[in-house]
Amino acid sequence: MKRILVPCDFSSPAREAYKLAANIAAKNNGEVLLLHVINIPVVYDPGLGGLPYTDPTLLEDLEAAGIKNFETLLADENIPAIRSSYQITNGDILSSILEYSEDKNIDLIVMGTSGSSGLAEIFIGSTTEKVVRHAQVPVLAVRQAPAIDTIKNILLPSTLSPEHANFMNKVKEVQDFFQATLHVLLINTPSRFRNHAEANEALKAFAIRYQLKNYTTHLSNYSSEADGIIDYANEEQVDLVLMGTHARTGLAHVFNGSITERVVNRIQYPVWTCHLQ
């Protein structure tokens, strides 16, 4: 997590994302790269033979406003002094984030969220969900930045698959970074039900297979995976949720594509997602 990207629209959730990213960077001597994407409509001007045309004056005004907002953000005395830089570009928001992440060899993308309001329509409703599904690096969605030294209980909802070694290596790296306890959660649903003995045996085998340390295992019966994850996190007041995703199908092979979006939208805790290989 040395090179951290924060897509920024200067909203309160985006500032929270920058705050968390800056604290992570301060802890591991990393750097934060801020990206503001201007997405203005392209007009097809008949006078130019129907060619696409963007108002240069509007673009200049928006870029100037972006620079001013970045200067204010970077001057915040409540955020630790770190190596940071910013860039303003224009175009499609999702494509710009993904291309920038690849070009700059980003290790982690931190994005602000606000549930069903604020950034929901722009970020959660489309961009964050798509970034989570398509980014080749982990994505950390945050509503309110916690102090990183308070992140001591990490929830890992899992299908207990034996095929996710790369993902689990990253999970253990995150656990080690925060020096936290890992709580492995198996959601028992009616469609994929295991009796108590089978479920506990599977949880035990999962922990042994991936050589987990400082962990606990939990079994919860629920009608849906998302509700089970959210309710467990709220009841136990975890500090961070780790979730595996597929590029187009959401959480693991057991979960459908709406699970990650629902959890990120509704949960109050930061959610770290990473592709399952």
pLDDT at 195: 84
Residues 30 and 122 occupy one common structural domain: yes
Low-confidence residues of the chain, pLDDT below 70? 41-54, 115-126, 246-258, 277
- Domain C-terminal end among 142, 158, 175: 142
Q: How far apart are CA 35 and CA 150, in angstroms?
A: 27
Residues 157 and 116 occupy one common structural domain: no
Residues 124 and 59 occupy one common structural domain: yes
pLDDT at 124: 43
Residue in this structure with the two tokens 């649903």, named with its chain if needed: 189
Q: What is the CATH number of the domain that holds 154?
A: 3.40.50.620
Residues 124 and 177 occupy one common structural domain: no
pLDDT at 252: 42
Residues 124 and 176 occupy one common structural domain: no
Residues 130 and 171 occupy one common structural domain: no
pLDDT at 231: 92
- Contact between 111 and 123 under an 8 Å Cβ cutoff? The reply is yes
pLDDT at 245: 80
pLDDT at 113: 82
Domain count, the chain: 2
- Contact between 6 and 30 under an 8 Å Cβ cutoff? The reply is no
pLDDT at 123: 46
Residues 160 and 267 occupy one common structural domain: yes
Residues 113 and 7 occupy one common structural domain: yes
Q: What is the pTM of this model?
A: 0.87
- Domain C-terminal end among 126, 142, 158: 142
pLDDT at 51: 56
Structure token digits, residue 116? 């069903």
Query: What Cα–Cα distance (Å) separates residue 58 from each residue in 45, 48, 188?
Result: 16, 19, 53
- Domain C-terminal end among 142, 175, 208: 142
Residues 127 and 70 occupy one common structural domain: yes
Q: How far apart are CA 153 and CA 147, in angstroms?
A: 13
Q: What is the pLDDT of residues 116-132, one digit of tens each?
A: 544 444 444 467 777 88
Residues 232 and 115 occupy one common structural domain: no
The DSSP result for 202-261, as a single string, is HHHHHHHHTT--SEEEEEEE-SSHHHHHHHHHHHHT-SEEEEEEBTTTBSTTTS-TTHHH
Structure token digits, residue 195? 């009796």
Range of 230's domain?
148-275
Residues 101 and 166 occupy one common structural domain: no
Structure token digits, residue 236? 């136990």
Residues 104 and 229 occupy one common structural domain: no
